[in-house]
Structures are given as C-alpha cells and as structure tokens.
Amino acid sequence: APVTLSLDPPGVHEGSQLLLSACLSCDGCLSEEESLKISQQSLEEVERVLALNKKCDVSKHKVLVASICPQSLPFFAVKFGLDITEAAHKLCGFLKTLGVQFVFDTTLAAGFSILESQREFIQRYRRRHHDSHALPMFTSSCPGWIRYSERVLGSLVTPHICTARSPQQVMGCLVKKYFSKQQKLSPEKVYHVLVAPCFDKKLEAVREEFYNSLLETRDVDCVLTSGEIYCLMEQRKVSVEELDSVPLDHVLGEAGDVALVRHEGRGSEGFLEHVFKHAAKELFGLDVHEITYKHLRNRDFQEVTLERDGETLLQFAAVYGFRNIQTLVHRMRKGRVPYQLVEVLSCPGGCLSGRGQAESEAGGKVDKVLIQQMEEAYSSLPIRLPEVNPALHTLYQEWLQGQDSQQASTLLHTQYRNQSHTQPPHMQW
C-alpha cells in the first residue's frame, strides 16, 4: 500500500525499511502531487460527494456509480459467510443505501482487456523476427508492476508491455464514455468509484492519460479497497442480515439479474491461460483444453509449454511477487528469457492476495487462511470465455464501431513510458 496519509499499512513507520515484496508504492517514488491525488481517494471524499447530493443545489449533484472487481467479491463472501452471488447482492444493497445509484461488476471490462491482449499478442508474435521489442510480451493489468517498469526498469521492459488497458481503466472508460451517454449525462456529472483488492489501483486511477482536462474528470474518480468498504460497514455497525439483497446492474441497461461469472486462471483474470489457448489455436491450429503449470522456483513462478512432435511452439510464464519479478528482470538483462508472454503481478499469490483485503486484522501480515477461503469462493464461480459473451459483441459494435476501429484502438489501449526515477535507498529485496 502507498505509505502516505491515511493509507499507511499498519506497522510501517517513517524511516523503517520497507520490503518491496510487501509494498511497491512507498513514499520513495510518490511525488507530492501524487500523494495529494491519492489522499483524495478516500471514504471521506465519497462522503463529501454524497453530502453535496443532499443539498438543494442540483447543479452540483452527481450520479454515483460503483464498479466492483471480481477479485474483491470473494473477500465479502468470506466476511459475510455467504456464497459469492449472495454476498455481491448484499454489497450492492449496502452501496445503494449510501446513495450509489448503479453498481456494476468489472468482469465485462476484463473481457475487453483479455480480447485486446490476445489480439496484440498475435500481432507481436507475427512481427517477432523484425521487431526486437515484440516479444516477450508482458501483461499490463497490474499497476504495481507497471509503475516499477516505468520508474526503475525503463526501456528494458516498457516496449514489451501489452498496450491493452487494465480491466479497471477499461471499466472507467465504459462508465464515463458509454454508460454516461446512455444516461444522457455529461461524464463530469458521474462520480465513479471502483472497489479493488489492492492499494496500487489508486495510483493507476490518477495517471495523466486517464484524465479529461477539458471536462476535469477522471475515468475512475476514486478507488476504495475491499478492506476500506468493510471498515465502513463496521464503523456504521451494518448487519449483513438486515441489508437488502439487490442484484447488480447491467452496463447495457438490461433488466434482470447479472449472472456472476469468472475468467480462467487462479484468481487474477487468467490473461496467461486465455492468450495461451487463443495463440495455440490461431497460430498452430491446436485446441488446448487443459493447461498444465510447471512450478519453477515456487508456486508464484510457473511455466506453461505448448509442444508438438517434440518441438516447443510456445512457452509462457506466470511471475507473481517482486522477488520473482527481480529474477525475471535479471534474466532479461542477460538475454535469457525464453518466454513469448509473461503474466506479471506484483502480489505473491495474485490479485486475491492484494494488500487492500488480504492482511490479517493484526495488520502487516497476509492472512493465509483468508486467502485460501477466498480462492475457494472465487473458484466456485462458473467460467465464461469473453469470446462468447454477447454483451462484449454488442459493445464492440454499438460503442466502438467494431474490433478493428480507431475508436477501439483509442479507448481500449494506452502507452507506457520511461520515467527516470532512482530507486529509493531504503528499498530491500
């Protein structure tokens, strides 16, 4: 978690040594401006917007929209002692009692992110012989990894990062540039809150490219962690039993319940699995039904290989946690990375283990029992491939004018840049 203002993780004090395996965005790489922006992503800020809505000056009213990451829902399922769908409905009920008018789940946005990553990988693979930056391709959904790449690794890594926007920022775009239009609202009249498992998502939301200076509005106005929402419920002494069970809303405005589904993989949208199966079919005509992971250093450094007649066709890796990322970077500097794609996540264990929801109540340490329970809850959701999601096909046509359009390229992709910044001396691996 960023060591700044009210976001200090318990037990971390000024001058103490900070482990990168526990925290990326420490005060060593946060500018004063960023610290200010992040401090505004708080429950107090949401309550300020809600309070303005209660005043009679209608010109200052905003429509509150909340989007919930699927990796946050297992946290509430465990805490509420409910199955994941019922927990989602109770959470929706709570958010609507606060004054939130629409509550979405970001699985749809993740579908866009996965499909665009698949397409980009195929393009990169086909130009691999004449573009030294084409492969390996690194996934782009983790803001902790992105920040480390831009601030510390620079040109060694940034040209290799997939340009597809993360699920969070696709959702921001979907809410501010599609949903607001459907509601006949100007984007700045919508206040978009995103519930996420990790603090680094706050940093992603304040990136310059996701800010509309003309309308003075961000795609995602405020990121709150699952833990922050749960703390608010505790402060208000909210009883889960007394909460109404309210179905989530449809971005397309359709009636009826939203069936909660998940993507493949073990709790982090499964970019590796989706791209691997797509590439096997698209490039080699092979149908892959089951993926077998080979553990290398540990559970958070794994390999997946596609072979035919003894020949290795594809070799992908999943690398989670900064200790493993450091190993990957060391190999890359020596030119010894055999992978065409690497799914990189800064949290050991992936997104379910985000520090905004996986810390023990004592603080500072990861609650392994909680994580195991969250993994079980998450795996109970049915898998649905984004390729067969009719809502995605509808939005590609209605919102983006097709998959190959300039609109799709502009709204679903971004660029990563080198930002010269020295690594703080107190960071230890």
Q: Is residue 403 one of the residues assigned to a domain?
A: no
For residue 382, the 8-state DSSP code is P
Pinpoint the alpha helices (H) of 249-321. Answer: 271-284
Domain limits for position 130 = 111-164+263-382
Q: Is residue 387 one of the residues assigned to a domain?
A: no
In this structure, how many other beta carbons lie within 10 angstroms of the beta carbon of residue 237? 6
User: Do 197 and 70 have their domain in common?
Assistant: yes
User: Do 367 and 276 have their domain in common?
Assistant: yes
Averages of pLDDT over each 10 residues, the chain, 429 residues = 34 34 47 73 88 81 95 96 96 96 95 97 96 94 91 91 96 95 93 94 87 83 94 94 94 75 82 96 95 84 93 95 91 91 92 87 80 94 92 94 94 85 45
pLDDT of residue 428: 42
User: Do 173 and 313 have their domain in common?
Assistant: no
Complete DSSP assignment for 272-329: HHHHHHHHHHHHH---------EEEEETTEEEEEEEETTEEEEEEEEEESHHHHHHHH
pLDDT of residue 194: 97
User: Do 174 and 82 have their domain in common?
Assistant: yes
Domain CATH code at residue 282: 3.40.950.10
pLDDT of residue 146: 92
pLDDT of residue 22: 40
Sign of CA dihedral 418, 109, 170, 193: negative
